[in-house]
Amino acid sequence: MLSLRLTRLACLLLCMTALHQTHAQDLARRLFDAHEAYKDTTFTHRRFKHKAIVPVLSTLGNPLSVSQVGTSAEGRSLNLVRAGTGPIPVLLWSQMHGDEATATMALFDLFRFLQASGDGFDDMRQTILAKTTLHMLPMLNPDGAERFQRRTSADIDMNRDALRLQSPESVVLKNLQQTLKPLVGFNLHDQNPRYSVGNTGKQAVVSFLATAYDQDRTINDVRRRSMQLIVGMNRVLQQFIPGQVARYDDDFEPRAFGDNIQKWGTTLILIESGGQVGDVEKMSIRRLNFVAILTALNAIANETYGNETPAERVVAEYQAIPENGRALFDLLIRNATVVRNGKPYTIDLGINRYEVNTDSARAFAYRSTIDDLGDLSTFGGLTEFDATGLTLTPARLYPDTLASPTDLRRLDVAKLRQEGIVAVKVQTAKRGSFPQQPLHVLWEGKLPGRPPGLGQVATFLLKEGNSIKKVVLNGFLDESGNGIID
């Protein structure tokens, strides 16, 4: 009899769990579909600066209030946006690394969402505002954002400054945690877009971490709550990006903010925006941040995360999310032939493209390199090409140095490419003046004189006999080089 009752109870709990999970899935789908309505149109690319966010902050109204809580080393304001009157304090901050801007855009979308009404989300919004008090700090490192660099203007990596607190921005973050004592903190970053989900070869679009707070990676109630919220966010994101959510490894980093904030008693959630092919400015990942953050806020406000993911199951479910792997190149060329010392070798080429800031406020250029070479059969590429039967051949540089972008327009690019001339050296150009060129525009360096090897620029030809079958242009296969530099 007793066992029958227990079985019934277990069934009931399971049903409740399923119900809560279904509700979260539906809500996430509705938020995803509605995101466009809340998208702050100020932000169309990741290289926006502090001067772009300040005017937007000044327009925010009920139920949001904005106050300056500090100043960066170079005098830029650090602003806290508050909403809600509830007993559960939640702290969210973005862009402690200046070149990790995706979640800042999502926070501004969240601001617009919180100000809206009559859109079918009123119940959810009112619950969040009644049960929690949200403290949101977009762009914690505005001096880094100014240069679009990870570190602060004093070259400090804020995420290794939680102990020394040498940068004023770090002091602000620690003070907020110590005075607000948030139940949950959201630490919002971008990660290397070439991370894979485990060794699946799939790109990690979003990664999470329930940060460890000690070397033993102990799971206490504070950290268990991180896992519950992350498992919930992962579950809803799977419907938009199946198999493309990963988790960061949880090695304890004693100098990092996430690890320390978890140690100081705030449930810490790290969200890392990764990459997605065809979404260089990460607008889709911004939308996924919006959905994930609101999913978690709703679960915090309703205290349903424990119902969605019961404590006894959470560790297994959390650990079932694959860790970030390092198995992807931007471009992987397989089975090319290269001749070295008169002897042919079969090689795969692992090519990556790195963003380089330019003088232009929003544009950037790519610098590509051949980062690995040899048998890369255990790796994958975001783009792949099978070069079986094709031989790696050096490309040629246009013989004259051009004085301006106008000169470049006069060239018969198609004809030059037929002759294997795919790069041109320019004299006076400013970086960023040559977007979308069908040639590799070189500022300083030169092309390798023989088939390029490890560490060299990925501009070369793939030939079958004397015929050019493919052109690789600064790491792009048969495309324009997209603002190429050397």
Among positions 302-331, residues that touch Zn ion (CB under 5 A) are none
Binding segment for Zn ion (CB under 5 A), chosen from 92-100, 106-114, 219-227, 340-348, is 92-100
| Binding span for Zn ion by CB under 5 A among 94-102, 314-322, 390-398, 414-422 | 94-102
Are 341 and 450 spatial neighbours (Cβ–Cβ below 8 Å)?
no
* Site residue total, Zn ion (CB under 5 A): 3
CA distance 477 to 385: 9
For residues 100 and 348, which CB has a smaller minimum distance to Zn ion in the complex? 100
Compare residues 191 and 369 and give the one whose CB is closer to Zn ion.
191
97/417 with CB nearer Zn ion: 97
Given 100, 109, 161, 372, the residue binding Zn ion (CB under 5 A): 100
Using the minimum distance from each CB to Zn ion, give the nearer residue, 97 or 135: 97
- Of 33-41, 77-85, 95-103, 119-127, the window that binds Zn ion (rule: CB under 5 A) is 95-103
- From the number of C-beta atoms within 10 Å of its C-beta (0-12, 13-18, 19+), residue 436 rates as exposed
**Closest CB to Zn ion among residues 100, 372:** 100
Q: In 3D, which of 93, 136, 87, 128 has the Cα closest to residue 111?
A: 136
Q: Which is nearer to Zn ion, 209 or 408 (CB)?
A: 209
Residue, CB closest to Zn ion: 189
| Candidates 90-98, 259-267, 350-358, 478-486; binding stretch for Zn ion (CB under 5 A) | 90-98
Distance CA 40, CA 57 (A): 11
From residue 134 to residue 173, the character string flagging contacts with Zn ion as x (rule: CB under 5 A) and all else as - is ----------------------------------------
Amino acid at 294: L
Shortest distance (Å) from residue 16 CB to Zn ion: 37
Stretch that binds Zn ion, among 186-194, 207-215, 245-253, 470-478 (CB under 5 A): 186-194
If we measure between CA atoms, which residue out of 429, 376, 424 comes closest to residue 396?
A: 424
CB 87 within 8 A of CB 131: yes
Q: Which residues from 195-254 bind Zn ion, rule CB under 5 A?
A: none
Of 13-21, 48-56, 62-70, 188-196: span binding Zn ion (CB under 5 A): 188-196
Write each residue from 47 to 86 as x if it is in contact with Zn ion (CB under 5 A), else as -, in one continuous string. ----------------------------------------
CA angle 165, 166, 169 (to 5 degrees): 75
Specify the residue, 91 or 314, whose C-beta has the smaller distance to Zn ion. Answer: 91
d(CA 28, CA 325): 27
For Zn ion, which stretch binds (CB under 5 A), given 84-92, 136-144, 185-193, 202-210? 185-193
Q: Which of 309, 316, 212 is nearest to 263 (CA)?
A: 212
Closer residue to Zn ion, CB minimum distance, 102 or 132: 102
Q: How many residues are present in the chain?
A: 486
- Which residues make beta-bridge pairs with 213? none
Q: Angle formed by the axes of helices 122-131 and 283-302, to 10°?
A: 60
189 contacts Zn ion (rule: CB under 5 A): yes
Dig out the tokens for 440 from the structure: 């590799």
How far is the C-alpha of 164 from the C-alpha of 409, rounded, in Å?
Answer: 53
**Smallest separation, CB 15 to Zn ion (Å):** 40
Does 99 help bind Zn ion (rule: CB under 5 A)? no
**Does the footprint of Zn ion cover residue 97 (CB under 5 A)?**
yes
Smallest separation, CB 249 to Zn ion (Å): 15
As measured in angstroms, the least distance from the Cβ of 123 to Zn ion is 34
Burial status of residue 180 (CB atoms within 10 A of its CB: 0-12, 13-18, 19 or more):
middle
Question: Minimal distance in Å, beta carbon 100 to Zn ion?
Answer: 5
CB 351 within 8 A of CB 329: yes
How far, in Å, are 140, 160, 167, 339, 456 from residue 171 at the CA level?
11, 13, 7, 57, 42
CA-based max dimension of the chain: 92
Nearer to Zn ion, 115 or 357 (CB): 357
Residue showing tokens 């938020």: 31
Least distance in angstroms from the C-beta of 189 to Zn ion: 3
Structure tokens at 360: 């232009």
SS3 label, residue 107: helix
- 442: nearest Cα among 480, 477, 387, 397: 397
- Measured from the CB atom, the residue of 140 and 365 that comes closer to Zn ion is 140
149 versus 383: smaller Cβ distance to Zn ion: 149
Q: Which of 268, 261, 265, 256 is nearest to 230 (CA)?
A: 268
Which residues of the chain form contacts with Zn ion (CB under 5 A)?
97, 100, 189
